[in-house]
């Protein structure tokens, strides 16, 4: 794209300020900025006006979960099927590590965070150790691990994992790919600049993984290796089981498009998204969308009908995902702290939210599928998310849970 074309595109979206310092830039910086203008989808910025306006939702109904008691009864059957599926090379995992981890407030990728007390125990290390448990259960079958990074944290992530020898996971079973980015703007939809030659961008949300994987050309790997199921999981849950055979087996046996790990809520108003049906299709209702009536609703056993919260660990049937890949996922506007350069070109790192980011969310992906099996896991054994340094869902709470599970820190 040349400067004239860039001016035209920016004018169309009211973003002419992007070129404010153009004449001061070096030739290579000019090229980089023009390339970024060409790649950026400025149309998303119009969504700014939707900030704070919840999307219109359909009609909710309960979706029964496969409960721990039932899973225990059928554990051998599910595990056998899961092990067979893994040994046949049909299962892969995707580590979602493209997020910015702003709440934890570390400059490094979240996975590099050391939660150890007497020795270093990195979040990435916990993840790989958990995955190695699956490998062991599957008689030494290493499943392909895709790691999604972002433009912002890719190099640090790759270098760190290489330096640590991938914590014992074979390098040839690991494939990195970068998540696509979206521009970040002020509340009026004007993109922020993070330097004189760069528009502020951020990863495009936790559902960006599949389109980014396709864009990176990795469907070829999936087809070539005969991968049929993909377990996606968040980087920050240090207790999570990844592609564990029982979950794989239960999902395959249920012949669904997707399995979703869920935990029983600890209070009717717990701040967690709950699996449900929306207009007859699987979906997730956010905690602030639950009406009193839904909180009070009971199933046929007298238990709360909307009782199972998602923990961002899903087993997707890849073919089902490929079929919906052509459809556009909705964009959600989220209010965040966005570093930017001020009128004197000084970098500002705001303490409070100052604008909008645009994200695609996994819940919309689930809703496009026909079927989903909520699969209950025991919270104390499988859910220790690290979002903050202290308090709820923090390094502190995760350490406590690790200790309870006999993990030395």
CB-closest chain residue to ligand UTP? 99
* Interface of this chain with ligand UTP, residues 221 to 280, rule: CB under 6 A: 234-236
The stretch near ligand UTP (CB under 6 A) out of 84-92, 203-211, 279-287, 373-381 is 203-211
Q: Does 365 bind ligand UTP (CB under 6 A)?
A: no
Is 50 a residue that touches ligand UTP (CB under 6 A)? no
Q: Which of 51, 100, 221, 368 binds ligand UTP (CB under 6 A)?
A: 100
Binding to ligand UTP in span 279-338, by CB under 6 A = 312
* 205 binds ligand UTP per the rule CB under 6 A: yes
**Residue 206 touches ligand UTP, criterion: CB under 6 A:** yes
The number of residues that bind ligand UTP (CB under 6 A) is 21
- Using CB under 6 A, pick the residue from 66, 86, 94, 96 that binds ligand UTP: 96
Closest CB to ligand UTP among residues 10, 115: 115
Task: CB nearer to ligand UTP: give 85 or 179.
Answer: 179
Closer residue to ligand UTP (CB): 6 or 148: 148
Which residue in the set 145, 148, 222, 310 belongs to the binding site for ligand UTP (CB under 6 A)? 148
> Is there binding between residue 99 and ligand UTP (CB under 6 A)?
yes
Among 203, 273, 282, 355, binds ligand UTP (CB under 6 A): 203
Residue (250 or 321) nearer to ligand UTP, CB = 321
Whose Cβ is closer to ligand UTP: residue 318's or residue 359's? 359
183 binds ligand UTP (CB under 6 A): no
Is residue 48 packed enough to be buried (19+ CB in 10 Å), middle (13-18) or exposed (0-12)? middle
Which chain residues interact with ligand UTP by CB under 6 A?
A: 96-103, 110, 148, 179, 203-206, 208, 234-236, 312, 387
């Amino acid at each position: 794209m040349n400067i004239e074309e860039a001016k035209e595109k920016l004018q169309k979206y009211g973003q002419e300020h992007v070129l404010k310092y153009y004449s001061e830039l070096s030739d290579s910086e000019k090229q980089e900025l023009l390339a970024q203008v060409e790649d950026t989808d400025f149309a998303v910025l119009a969504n700014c006006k939707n900030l704070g306006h919840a999307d219109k939702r359909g009609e909710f109904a309960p979706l029964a979960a496969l409960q721990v008691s039932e899973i225990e009864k059928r554990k051998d059957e599910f595990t056998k099927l899961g092990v067979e599926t893994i040994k046949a090379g049909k299962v892969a995992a995707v580590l979602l590590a493209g997020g910015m981890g702003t709440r934890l407030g570390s400059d490094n990728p979240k996975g590099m965070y050391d939660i150890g007390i007497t020795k270093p125990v990195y979040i990435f290390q916990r993840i790989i150790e958990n995955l190695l448990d699956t490998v062991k259960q599957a008689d030494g079958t290493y499943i392909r691990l895709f790691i999604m990074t972002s433009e912002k944290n890719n190099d640090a992530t790759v270098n760190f994992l290489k330096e640590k020898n991938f914590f014992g996971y074979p390098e040839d079973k690991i494939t990195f790919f970068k998540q696509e980015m979206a521009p970040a703007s002020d509340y009026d939809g004007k993109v922020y600049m993070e330097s004189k030659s760069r528009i502020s961008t951020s990863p495009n949300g936790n559902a960006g993984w599949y389109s980014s994987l396709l864009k990176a050309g990795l469907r070829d790997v999936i087809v070539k290796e005969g991968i049929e199921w993909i377990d996606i999981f968040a980087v920050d849950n240090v207790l999570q089981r990844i592609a564990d055979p029982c979950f794989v087996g239960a999902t395959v046996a249920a012949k669904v498009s997707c399995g979703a790990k869920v935990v029983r809520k600890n209070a009717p108003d717990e701040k967690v998204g709950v699996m449900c049906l929306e207009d007859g299709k699987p979906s997730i209702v956010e905690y602030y969308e639950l009406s009193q009536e839904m909180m009070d609703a009971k199933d046929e056993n007298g238990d709360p009908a909307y009782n199972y919260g998602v923990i961002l660990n899903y087993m997707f049937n890849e073919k089902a995902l490929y079929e919906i890949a052509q459809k556009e996922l909705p964009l959600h506007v989220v209010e965040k702290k966005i570093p930017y350069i001020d009128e004197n070109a000084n970098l500002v790192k705001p303490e409070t939210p100052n604008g909008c980011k645009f994200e695609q969310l996994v819940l919309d992906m689930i809703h496009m599928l026909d079927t989903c099996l909520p699969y209950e896991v025991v919270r104390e054994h499988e859910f220790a998310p690290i979002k903050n340094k202290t308090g709820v869902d923090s390094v502190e709470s995760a350490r406590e849970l690790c200790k309870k599970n006999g993990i030395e820190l």
